Amino acid sequence: MTTIKELLKADGLLLLVAIIWGFAFVAQRSGMEVIGPFAFSAVRFALGAVSLVPVLLVQRWRRAPDGVAPLSLWKRLLLSALMGALLFIAASLQQLGLVTTTAGNAGFITCLYVVLVPVVGIFLGRKTGIQTWIGAVLALAGLYIISIGAGLKLVTGDLYELVGAFFWTAYILVIGPIGKRMDAVEFSMGQFATCSVLSLVTAVVVEPNAFAGVRAALIPILYGGIMSSGVAFTLQVVAQRTAHPSHASIIFSMQALIAALGGVLFLHEPVTTRLLVGGSLMFAGMLCSQLTTTKGG
């Protein structure tokens, strides 16, 4: 049985993932000013897969896989490919949405998985405590205040983000059970490689001169590939072996707050009332969801 200490450690890793992803929103948005969304994803996830090769080699040299139950090679390849395809759809919808919508709208609509994860979990027979539901509502309210503010102006890109939210919900729900059966680094490399190949094929077909802007977008691509993909997605696989999916969705929503704080720290944006109120609500929602953890629920 998973201990409270293990659950809190997993949630801590998820918070680190949210921090990395929060700064990645800025990188994605700036990168797509000079490169198409599919080309960006193709290079980003290829870099993510390559960045994990040294880790896998050291792990194999030490003969220290992370203790998961072994699966056959074909099953590992199949699961990695399926998750890579799911990641491709979710990430592509997010990238396409960011072409026309604002980062605030994209962050809010994508993070609707805060509510979708526990709702879908009900149909899968997963229990969600009242503290988690309250935490989800608080987080969503705070997210709205930070990201949207006075009004939500919908554009075409928001539809992509909305559909993408359902795929991110599916991704969050299934990655935990699959991650328990596979080595985290090997699994991440497999899904990144699949996502990169699918993005590459799509970029060649639909984006003229798809990779002409790679050099100009190098910094965002490096961050998106190494930190947001190689580091963050792998930590997600490890953490969601033990973390409750609903807790994970609430913690992941903190990336919107992190993005706003990043604007204050690095772009010298003002500390607004919306940021203080919305951030407080989101933080309260995250703490409220932890009450279920500390009570062992």
- pLDDT averaged over every residue in the chain: 82
Dump pLDDT digits (tens) for 112-131: 888 888 888 888 777 777 88
Dump pLDDT digits (tens) for 68-110: 556 788 888 999 999 999 999 998 998 888 777 776 677 777 8
- Per-domain residue ranges of the chain: 4-294
As a whole-number percent, the residues of the chain with pLDDT over 90 amount to: 20
pLDDT at 84: 95
pLDDT at 81: 94
pTM of the predicted protein model: 0.82
293, burial (CB in 10 Å: exposed 0-12, middle 13-18, buried 19+): buried
Tell me the pLDDT band of 67, cut-offs 50, 70 and 90.
low
CB 210 within 8 A of CB 203: yes
Dump pLDDT digits (tens) for 131-165: 888 888 888 888 788 776 655 566 788 889 889 99
Q: Is 126 left (phi over 0), alpha (psi -120 to 50) or beta?
A: beta
In angstroms, the CA 18 to CA 254 distance is 6
